[in-house]
Amino acid sequence: MFEATKLGRRIPKDAFKAEVPELRTRLLAAQRAIREARVPVIVVVSGVEAAGKGELVNRLNEWLDARGVQTFAFWDATDEERQRPRYWRFWRSLPPRGEICNLFGGWYQAPIERRFRELCNDAELDAELNRIVDFERMLSQDGALIVKFWYHLPQKEQKRRLKELARDDRSRWKMLPDKSKFAEQYRKFEQVAERVIRITDRGIAPWHLIEATDRRYRDLTTGRTLLAVLEARLAEIAATRESPAAAVPAPEPVAAEPEAQITILDRIDLSQRLERNLYKVRLKRLQAEANELAWQAYKAKRSTVLVFEGVDAGGKGGAIRRITNAVDARLYRAIPIAAPSDEEKAHHYLWRFWRQIPRAGYMTIYDRSWYGRVLVERVEGFASPHEWQRAYAEINEFEDQLVESGTVLMKFWMHVSEDEQLRRFKEREDTPYKRHKITDEDWRNRERWDDYKLAANEMVARTSTEMAPWTLVAGNDKPFARIQVLDTFCRQIRRALEAGPRGDGYLTCETTG
Amino acid sequence: MFEATKLGRRIPKDAFKAEVPELRTRLLAAQRAIREARVPVIVVVSGVEAAGKGELVNRLNEWLDARGVQTFAFWDATDEERQRPRYWRFWRSLPPRGEICNLFGGWYQAPIERRFRELCNDAELDAELNRIVDFERMLSQDGALIVKFWYHLPQKEQKRRLKELARDDRSRWKMLPDKSKFAEQYRKFEQVAERVIRITDRGIAPWHLIEATDRRYRDLTTGRTLLAVLEARLAEIAATRESPAAAVPAPEPVAAEPEAQITILDRIDLSQRLERNLYKVRLKRLQAEANELAWQAYKAKRSTVLVFEGVDAGGKGGAIRRITNAVDARLYRAIPIAAPSDEEKAHHYLWRFWRQIPRAGYMTIYDRSWYGRVLVERVEGFASPHEWQRAYAEINEFEDQLVESGTVLMKFWMHVSEDEQLRRFKEREDTPYKRHKITDEDWRNRERWDDYKLAANEMVARTSTEMAPWTLVAGNDKPFARIQVLDTFCRQIRRALEAGPRGDGYLTCETTG
């Protein structure tokens, strides 16, 4: 795979100087157009040790308008990063629409190093690479342009450079292969890199292999490649604008009408009730237990994510309050999901939920969540069919990462009947301190009851996974619903604590730049 | 001071139940109005151990609309927080306009505990309290409403509760006084608390002392007080709207015309030049040294903040690039300051700069900065005279905190003559890859040259402190200017590293909730 990077290609100084001004001008123009088109650009800078990736990034920063370019390295994880799912640090680094980020190694660095150091086997590496493919596809479908560079050196040249680096003492932060086994390690690194590149070299995010022996060749080729990729995307955008008919047609609706009439939600037994005195006793006991378990989870460094969705007036707020009243306010954060801020709008829709992921031992309660994508955004047409249909897989992958990192994830759908909703709406209008909870929008949503039910049904069907099942809460009787939520809460945390520590240990492997 | 909190006041259950619905209704109405008025509300919840601050916060969360209330505790600092100036974590927790935050202990907790544990003396405590007064004044002048509650218990009651807490094992996270010395410690804590409250009890952010013996009294009194404070602010806002003439008149302009003609900037010798060959040699040497020093600072965990301001086309970008080309891209972040995002606009103007403060060992380069407040915002009238005139003190205080935490702070004013600026504007228009750097706005700003010069002069005069002096860069000759910047950069970092570690050790004292 790397033969073409060992040809000793060079660019003479004069040729370099002659080409650069034109290249810079066009790069800047492309950058400006990309900003206007609001395309986020992710440049991954990877390759063998001593290829000069740092120099190259400095060169890109020089050629581009530095306002609009950010650079991130991932060699030095903070504890806030270590205490969250692995990809949190990448989400932190993704560019807003219209900007460019250079990522040293990006999400490739850890898997390559782990495999190189025999900390995982090929199958584990492949599983991680498949996650990467999904991740890049997701970003790409959201409009991101992903440009991946791999810088390579012939064995002899790398050896020479590493010796030099070792001599001048600037290498102290880098990973140096054992000198005596250099040839063997060089081969092994190439094998790992080849596997990584082969599996992750997809049309939506292809790799560009560049020989790094000659600096001018390396930089100029990178600049030309980046320019070509940016200009190609701009041309695509222009073409789509001119002939919008050429846009991909929306996929067929998934659920056919007849079967859609009966949903999983209809199977919830809404007649279940809990007698008021029994409720008081159980509430008190469960709330004490919830606080105790929250402290135990804190000590065990297990985080908890709670998701509350449901029909309007389904009792989300009341159920959440029964938890937040019980648990020490130092341990949780309740996040109401309203309209996104402009920073949030400038990112993938999952970005704002990643922002709030709790660190180890803490709890985040989402009052509405990422499921808005397949509920309100679907029903109201804020997301296109393409967007909300692919969201199921994106959400499952996101939740997989949460669970994999040891987070206890619970998802509650608070359900009430149409009649009960009406009764509650009217009650809200009649109770002064509840009036703020009822708006015209609630009444409008109610008219689309069947659409919401259909969407919720499909959501549960597609995202109630073994790792992250939905709890369907029978909400007509508030005491019953609240106890069901609290009981599930305690049971799940207790079970997680009994099962012992989780987490795949990826981040225990500190990696170098 | 605490006599009034030892009267054993109680509220019977019936009276409590009778009052709460009305109180909740009015609190919710006030919260809604405060949101519309975009007032950020900061509730500080402090007091003696075992007063039930956690319960109280849960109660407030229940009474208020939880969407719009966030709670923060400061007992468990992350290393991202520890590696930055102390107040970074408070800035992270400040509410956006229109929202409410409950802060457990807030900025009071650490000073009280440090004094209580004899980790500082009264003079040091007072210095910290003066900082707090400044901080609260700054937030208040920006429109924040600060409500500070102190919950107190008689000695006997506190002793009883602590015993109970110790028994049921839920006290493991709290600070328990030594039982044998209880009376002595109780008195001592009261002495410290009294000093703190006395010094920080200002009109803009008064303390409310509340007896916490009876839960219903504690909660109801808190609710009533909060309501009264919110309603008073709303009344004030309404009054100002009705009679804007009653608004405080703007202070007199500071600089009288005649003296303003000659400024500090005129004293910069713009004729200084550097011969091109000499430039190349020195550039190379200084860039190598800059990288080496950046790595040393990383190892020593000293962070660096660079501020670049100056006239348009003054050479900021070029000077920054000479640093960023030299320093490893993993170590710095260059932040171009453009229009604030809506999240940034919803906070105090310094908030967006605090966001980017580097953690220990790293470097942030601000391409334009908080000085915009006293430059462009002043000249263009985006900030009122009140706002920009008080900004000098706010900025000095902010920079004091940076320096105190061990950050190496450098501020560069890049200056060129009016003629040289004109030449550069024209050159930019003629060079394809420089054309993006010149806009109509630059030409417009140029027409206000004298206003900008006056503002810059006053800025330097007022913010060139011993701890954080301005470096005035003679920018007419680019090579000279760049070497001056790089040379200052290297000299300052070297000096800081030679002087040894800094930081006042505040955060080494972990505090409990």
Domain ranges of chain A: 3-245, 265-499
**CB of B370 closer than 8 Å to CB of B309:** no
Q: Please say if the pLDDT value at position A245 is more than 60.
A: no
**B321/A61 touch (CB, cutoff 8 Å), yes or no:** yes
| Residues A464-489, mean pLDDT to the nearest whole number | 94
**CB of A397 closer than 8 Å to CB of A353:** no
Cβ under 8 Å to B: A residues 312-331: 317, 320-321, 324-325, 328-330
Closest CA to B212 of B50, B51, B7: B51
Q: What is the pLDDT of residue B301?
A: 93
Q: How many Å lie between the alpha carbon of A28 and the closest alpha carbon of chain B?
A: 7
| Residues A348-377, mean pLDDT to the nearest whole number | 95
User: What gap in Å lies between CA B364 and CA B359, rounded to an integer?
Assistant: 9
Q: What superfamily in CATH does domain B3-245 come from?
A: P-loop containing nucleotide triphosphate hydrolases (3.40.50.300)
| Residues A168-174, mean pLDDT to the nearest whole number | 53
Query: Which ranges of A86-181 does DSSP label H, i.e. alpha helix?
Result: 88-93, 109-116, 122-141, 155-167
User: What gap in Å lies between CA B209 and CA B228, rounded to an integer?
Assistant: 15
Q: Regarding predicted confidence, which is higher, A90 or A253? A: A90
| Residues A338-346, mean pLDDT to the nearest whole number | 90
| Residues A445-473, mean pLDDT to the nearest whole number | 91
Minimum mean pLDDT among A34-48, B145-159, B169-183, B283-297: which range? B169-183
Residues of A within 8 A of B333 (CB-CB) are 70-71
Q: What is the pLDDT of residue B243?
A: 72
Q: Please say if the pLDDT value at position A255 is more than 70.
A: no
Q: Which residue has the tokens 């709790």?
A: A358
**Order of strands, sheet of B304-310, starting from the edge strand that comes earlier in the sequence:** B332-336, B363-367, B304-310, B408-415, B470-474
Neighbour-count burial of A153, counting CB atoms closer than 10 A to its CB (0-12 exposed, 13-18 middle, 19+ buried): buried
Q: Please say if the pLDDT value at position A254 is more than 80.
A: no
Residues of B within 8 A of A341 (CB-CB) are 341-343
Cβ under 8 Å to B: A residues 357-416: 359, 367
User: For the complex shown, is ipTM > 0.90?
Assistant: no
Q: Give whole-number Cα distances, A335 to A83, A338, B56, B71, B78, in Å.
A: 19, 9, 20, 11, 21
- Torsions phi, psi of B128, nearest 5? -65, -40
Residue B505 — very low, low, confident or very high, per pLDDT cuts 50/70/90? very low
Q: How many Å lie between the alpha carbon of B261 and the closest alpha carbon of chain A?
A: 34
**A330/B28 touch (CB, cutoff 8 Å), yes or no:** no
Q: Regarding predicted confidence, which is higher, B2 or B243? A: B2
Residues of A within 8 A of B341 (CB-CB) are 341-343
Residue A432 — very low, low, confident or very high, per pLDDT cuts 50/70/90? confident
Closest CA to A334 of B513, B53, B54, B67: B67
Q: Please say if the pLDDT value at position A412 is more than 70.
A: yes
**A219-235 burial, b if ≥16 CB within 10 A, otherwise e?**
bbbbbeebbebbbebbe
B221 touches chain A (CB under 8 A): no
- What is the Cα B89 distance to its own chain's centre? 10
Q: What type of residue is B333? A: R
Which among B78, B325, B367 has CB closest to A58?
B325
Q: Regarding predicted confidence, which is higher, B155 or B501? A: B155
Q: How many Å lie between the alpha carbon of B267 and the closest alpha carbon of chain A?
A: 31
The answer to whether domain A3-245 and domain A265-499 are alike in fold is: yes
B92 touches chain A (CB under 8 A): no
| Residues B91-106, mean pLDDT to the nearest whole number | 95
Minimum mean pLDDT among A90-104, A401-415, B146-160, B249-263: which range? B249-263
- Torsions phi, psi of B245, nearest 5? -60, -25
**B71/A333 touch (CB, cutoff 8 Å), yes or no:** yes
To test the contact with chain A by mutation, choose from B31, B61, B67, B437 the residue with the greatest count of A C-beta atoms within 10 A, namely: B67
Q: Give whole-number Cα distances, A344 to A67, A341, A457, B257, B461, in Å.
A: 20, 5, 28, 47, 40
**CB of B309 closer than 8 Å to CB of B411:** yes
Residues of B within 8 A of A317 (CB-CB) are 66
Minimum mean pLDDT among A338-347, B91-100, B303-312: which range? A338-347
Q: Give whole-number Cα distances, B37 to A100, B5, B140, B225, B230, in Å.
A: 37, 34, 15, 20, 11
Closest CA to B409 of B458, B370, B377: B370
Closest CA to B395 of B468, B310, B463: B463
To test the contact with chain A by mutation, choose from B26, B328, B362, B428 the residue with the greatest count of A C-beta atoms within 10 A, namely: B328
- Torsions phi, psi of B365, nearest 5? -110, 115
Q: Give whole-number Cα distances, A223 to A10, A151, A227, in Å.
A: 15, 13, 6
Q: Please say if the pLDDT value at position B175 is more than 60.
A: no
Which among A28, A325, A342 has CB closest to B341?
A342
Cβ under 8 Å to A: B residues 162-181: 170, 172-173
The second-level CATH assignment, the architecture, of B257-500 is 3-Layer(aba) Sandwich (3.40)
Four-way CATH pick for A265-499: 3.40.50.300, 3.20.20.190, 3.10.150.10, 3.20.20.70: 3.40.50.300
| Residues A447-462, mean pLDDT to the nearest whole number | 92
pLDDT, averaged across chain B: 89
Closest CA to A42 of A132, A160, A177: A132
**CB of B424 closer than 8 Å to CB of B431:** no
What is the gyration radius of the CA atoms in chain B, in angstroms?
Answer: 27
- What is the Cα A320 distance to its own chain's centre? 25
Which among B61, B66, B79 has CB closest to A79?
B79
DSSP A363: E
Minimum mean pLDDT among A176-180, A327-331, B96-100: which range? A176-180
Summarize pLDDT for B326-384 with one digit per residue, the tens: 998 889 999 999 889 999 999 999 999 999 999 999 999 999 999 999 999 999 999 99
| Residues B269-291, mean pLDDT to the nearest whole number | 95
Q: What type of residue is A419? A: D
Q: How many Å lie between the alpha carbon of A259 and the closest alpha carbon of chain B?
A: 38
Residue B22 — very low, low, confident or very high, per pLDDT cuts 50/70/90? very high
**B78/A73 touch (CB, cutoff 8 Å), yes or no:** no
**A330/B76 touch (CB, cutoff 8 Å), yes or no:** yes
Cα torsion at A195, A58, B336, A224 (round to 10°)?
Answer: -70
Residue B250 — very low, low, confident or very high, per pLDDT cuts 50/70/90? low
Q: What is the pLDDT of residue B1?
A: 81
Neighbour-count burial of A493, counting CB atoms closer than 10 A to its CB (0-12 exposed, 13-18 middle, 19+ buried): buried
DSSP B205: B
Q: What is the pLDDT of residue A503?
A: 52
Question: Does this model's pTM top 0.90?
Answer: no
Q: Please say if the pLDDT value at position B456 is more than 70.
A: yes
B79 touches chain A (CB under 8 A): yes
Q: Please say if the pLDDT value at position A513 is more than 50.
A: no
pLDDT, averaged across chain A: 89
Cross-strand bridge partners of residue A69: A100
- pLDDT > 90: what percent of chain B? 72
Q: What is the pLDDT of residue A6?
A: 80
Closest CA to A482 of A275, A267, A321: A321
Residue B190 — very low, low, confident or very high, per pLDDT cuts 50/70/90? very high
